Amino acid sequence: MEKKKIIFKINGVEKTVEVEPNKTLLWLIREVLKLKGTKKACERGDCGLCTVLLNGEPVKSCLVLAVEVDGSEIVTVEGLSRDGELTPIQKAFIEHGALQCGFCTPAFVIVGHWLLNRNPNPSREEVVEALNGVLCRCTGYRPIIEAILDVAKKRK
């Protein structure tokens, strides 16, 4: 299959990559760029664990073709912190024990970050709705919601 050259920014760094047209953004992130924080699970859009920000909006990267991100800006969980310092949401997840196996955590952190940027003071219902597309198989939803609400409260 003929490869196509794509140019995009990921976590603030410009990249040029040649990709086959049938490869996904998830594959590009994990297998080419070796950013393993974005998780590979169902690969069919059901679990949301592969969620990243594409031009500022959350997308399931297993449902996006790599060629589609030409000219775009992507942020993965690795791109949220600055100088190795955890973000307030990451700290709140630790404080609230909002992770069990931790496999879903990068996706929840990405969605929580997106939500609080867009809506700095969300209601509990708005947090629940925003997290709707991400599944935690350990079922620890309550502390995840509390952690995000706590960040919003402390920012007030």
7 part of the interface to ligand FES, by CB under 6 A? no
Q: In whole angstroms, what is the distance from residue 54 CA to residue 39 CA?
A: 16
Output 111 or 136, the one with its CB closest to ligand FES.
Answer: 136
Distance (Å) of CA 83 to CA 78, 79, 105, 142: 11, 10, 20, 30
Closest alpha carbon to 49 in 96, 3, 105: 105
| Site stretch for ligand FES (CB under 6 A), options 27-35, 75-83, 98-106, 123-131 | 98-106
| Residue 121 C-beta: closest distance to ligand FES, Å | 26
Q: In whole angstroms, what is the distance from residue 68 CA to residue 148 CA?
A: 31
| Site stretch for ligand FES (CB under 6 A), options 66-74, 123-131, 135-143, 146-154 | 135-143
User: % helix / strand / coil in the chain, to the nearest 5?
Assistant: 40, 20, 40
136 part of the interface to ligand FES, by CB under 6 A? yes
| Residue 136 C-beta: closest distance to ligand FES, Å | 3
Residue of the chain from 81, 102, 119, 153 that contacts ligand FES (CB under 6 A): 102
Q: Segment 42-71, which members bind ligand FES (CB under 6 A)?
A: 42-43, 45-50, 60, 62
142 part of the interface to ligand FES, by CB under 6 A? no
Find the helix packing angle between 141-155 and 88-95, rounded to 10°: 130
State the residues that interact with ligand FES by CB under 6 A: 40-43, 45-50, 60, 62, 99-104, 136-138, 140
